[in-house]
Amino acid sequence: MLYIVTAIIGLGVISQVLADRFQVPSVLFLIAAGIVFGPVGLHLLNPSAFGDALSSIVGLSVAIIVFEGAFHLKVNKLREAPSAQIRLVTVGALISLLGTATVIRFALDQPWDLSLLIGSLLVATGPTVITPILSVVPVRDRVAAALETEGIANDVTAAILAVVMFEVLVLTGSDTFHVGEFFASFVRRLGTGMLVGILVAGIIWYILRHLNLSPGNAPQNSRLLVLVGALTAYAAADIVARESGIAAVATAGILLGNADLPYEEKIEEFKGDITLVVLSFVFITLAALLKPKDLFALGIGGAIVVFVVMFVIRPLIVFISTSGGRFTRDEKLFMSFVGPRGIIPASVATLFAFRIRNSADVIPNAEHAATVLIGTVFLVIVVTVVLEGGFARFIAEYLNVIPMRVLIIGGGKVGRSLAARLEDRGENVVLIEQDETIVQTAREEGYTVHDGDGTDTEVLRSSGAGNAKIVVAATGDDDVNLLVAQLAESKFDVETIIARANNPDNVDAFEDLGVRTISSSLATAWAIDNVIERPALSNWMTELGRSGDVQEIEITAESLVGKTIDELDAEMPNGVLIALVGRDGETQVPNKGFTLQKGDHVTFLGRKESVRETISMCQS
């Protein structure tokens, strides 16, 4: 047993290192390790060596995993989340549960109770499979936030739903099933779990906040206390009422994660390391317990389940949940095709497979039910992780959802108006604002807003200044705008920095410091002058980003180098003109014989759809 434990932990660490190296979910390597080194492969790992203790070990592992997910579920983030994110974790979870259960019921010819149990587990995506994808696919913040919120919230939802459905499975397996008996049993277990979770969380909170935990080693003691609390909550609740442990650790995790604990960052780091160990155990054990014949036994029905889950249910969830929001069609398609399943489905499925086998006296065909549970969950996890995780970058590039990142400091009317135009052109815009009223207003309008001081380096860094292409200082305070511009250049080396000058006397001073500056007063005067002298142009300019558009690109494609303006114009769609060409710092209106060179900057003007079609043509 010592050899097996050591080998599992070692393989888990190696899997995590490989996952970080190749930027894919670690679940893929963990499952592969279990198959290769388990009874199916080299037969070097045999989980049966743990005997009857295996179920308890997996149970405690699941407790830590669920507690980890619940600890990261921040209530204030959910309150700030746009309605689309809330629908993803409510309406979306319900559609996923019922849709998956229905297809399992008919495609695999399984009873409703088992179908609902599997369906509840496959509600979860989870941060452990979503985060690695988002680290290599820098999508817009609203897309990333929706996927991350869904993953964290549905981890907990799926675990609790699975307990409910397991109760249904056990009770319907008996001679008679009474709805009243089921609800009484469920309320007793859920209530017990919540009470134990609240009690344990309260005790830990009180100790951490009010007792002196050895000043020289308080962070370590805090980490250990929280870990022991999670295990205690699970074990105590399960002793009082069977299957109530998951509800207990979920409750304790949510409460402690939102309690503003001291040393919270240290606690999160420690829990992450412990979770890595238990994840290794659960996943490798799950994979080692699988038999190829069990997967093949699912047959065409298993393939139908995977197909419907990936290409019917998931898109339906996303398009319903994001309707009426700021998500573009391509963003919705990307979210539809990136929903891999991971930690919670695998770990809880493993736990309940043991419980089902141990309940053979009340569950008919318990061995078959456990095999279908493990086989179906495993099949969906592997296929979604491999296809959706492995091809996420390709999907994002094909759908063109990897945008230029723009950071706007100042969420007032100027900042929000600029954000609206940039987002309409498909850019990833993040606002920074510290006025609570403005923050709330901007969020209600659907913008991604970081609450904080834009002159604080850490606020800029956490908002994404490190990979921003453009930073715009658009507050009503010139001193703030100047400081932001200087920080963006000196600390983050941003390519383009633009500052708003509210006082026109400050324009020269800003530009002497190398800051590109727009004067609010002068810009207003120019706009009024355009209305007077050039009304048609002025009216059309106000439509930029709506029906009309102006875009500039740099000539990098070899296919465009050497072409004349006349040749390029013949290939462009109707409704777009080549307005300007910039070369070596000089800009001109080109004639039809002008020959393009690499590095030229070409400005296209015309109808929005035609301009974007031309941009796509030139960049392909």
Domain ranges across the chain? 48-399, 405-532, 548-619
Structure tokens, 397: 């590039």
Token pair 């317990």 in the structure block, residue = 289
> What pLDDT does residue 193 have?
87
At residue 389, does pLDDT exceed 60?
A: yes
Mean pLDDT of the chain: 83
Element (H, E) at 587: strand 586-588
Q: How many CA within 13 A on the CB side of residue 293?
A: 2
Taking residues 508-528, report their average pLDDT.
Answer: 81
Report how far residue 10's alpha carbon sits from residue 280's, in angstroms, rounded to the nearest whole number.
Answer: 9
Structure tokens, 405: 């990142």
Question: Which of the 8 DSSP states describes residue 211?
Answer: S
Token pair 């002196």 in the structure block, residue = 212
Q: Using an 8 Å Cβ cutoff, are 403 and 426 in contact?
A: yes
Q: Using an 8 Å Cβ cutoff, are 301 and 107 in contact?
A: yes
Question: Which of the 8 DSSP states describes residue 313?
Answer: I
Question: Which of the 8 DSSP states describes residue 591?
Answer: -
What is the percentage of the chain residues whose pLDDT exceeds 90? 19
Q: Which residues contact 21 (CB under 8 A, 6 or more apart)?
A: none
Contacts 24+ apart (CB under 8 A), 323-331: 324/83, 325/82, 325/83, 325/84, 325/446, 326/82, 326/142, 326/423, 326/446, 327/84, 327/142, 327/143, 327/146, 328/401, 328/426, 330/399, 330/400, 330/401, 331/139, 331/140, 331/142, 331/143, 331/399, 331/401
Write the DSSP string, 246-301.
Answer: HHHHHHHHHHHHTS--TTHHHHHHHHHHHHHHHHHHHHHHHHHH--HHHHHTTHHH
CATH architecture of 405-532: 3-Layer(aba) Sandwich (3.40)
Reported as a pLDDT band with limits 50, 70 and 90, residue 182 is low
pLDDT in tens, 333-356: 999 998 888 777 877 887 788 888
Domains 405-532 and 548-619 share a fold: no
Report how far residue 568's alpha carbon sits from residue 600's, in angstroms, rounded to the nearest whole number.
Answer: 14
pTM for the whole thing?
Answer: 0.67
Structure tokens, 37: 């080194």
Report how far residue 96's alpha carbon sits from residue 316's, in angstroms, rounded to the nearest whole number.
Answer: 9
Pairing of strands 428-433, 586-588: unpaired
Closest residue by Cα to residue 75 from 160, 190, 156, 187: 156
Give whole-number Cα distances, 397 to 108, 461, 553, 584, 620, in Å.
Answer: 36, 26, 18, 31, 11
At residue 489, does pLDDT exceed 80?
A: yes
> What pLDDT does residue 609 have?
80
Most confident of 90-94, 138-142, 281-285: 90-94
Question: Which of the 8 DSSP states describes residue 465?
Answer: G
Report how far residue 330's alpha carbon sits from residue 337's, in angstroms, rounded to the nearest whole number.
Answer: 11
Burial of 305 (0-12, 13-18, 19+ CB in 10 A): buried
Give whole-number Cα distances, 83 to 91, 127, 399, 423, 554, in Å.
Answer: 11, 20, 24, 18, 38
What is the percentage of the chain residues whose pLDDT exceeds 70? 92
Report how far residue 107's alpha carbon sits from residue 345's, in angstroms, rounded to the nearest whole number.
Answer: 20
> What pLDDT does residue 540 have?
66
Element (H, E) at 334: helix 329-337
Q: Which residues contact 265 (CB under 8 A, 6 or more apart)?
A: none
> What pLDDT does residue 55 have?
73
> What pLDDT does residue 542 have?
66
Report how far residue 76's alpha carbon sits from residue 99's, in angstroms, rounded to the nearest whole number.
Answer: 30
At residue 79, does pLDDT exceed 70?
A: no
pLDDT in tens, 284-312: 777 776 777 777 788 899 999 999 999 99
Taking residues 209-228, report their average pLDDT.
Answer: 80
Length of the chain: 620
At residue 390, does pLDDT exceed 60?
A: yes
Taking residues 129-148, report their average pLDDT.
Answer: 79
Closest residue by Cα to residue 272 from 69, 89, 433: 69
The type of residue at 54 is L
At residue 242, does pLDDT exceed 80?
A: no
The type of residue at 262 is P
More confidently predicted of 80 and 413: 413
Yes or no: domain 48-399 corresponds to CATH 1.20.1530: yes
More confidently predicted of 175 and 233: 233
> What pLDDT does residue 378 have?
83
Which CATH code is given to the segment(s) 548-619?
3.30.70.1450
pLDDT in tens, 59-68: 788 788 788 8
Token pair 């587990």 in the structure block, residue = 121
Token pair 């703030």 in the structure block, residue = 480
| Phi/psi at 595 (5° precision) | -100, 130
pLDDT in tens, 20-50: 777 677 777 887 888 788 777 787 877 777 7
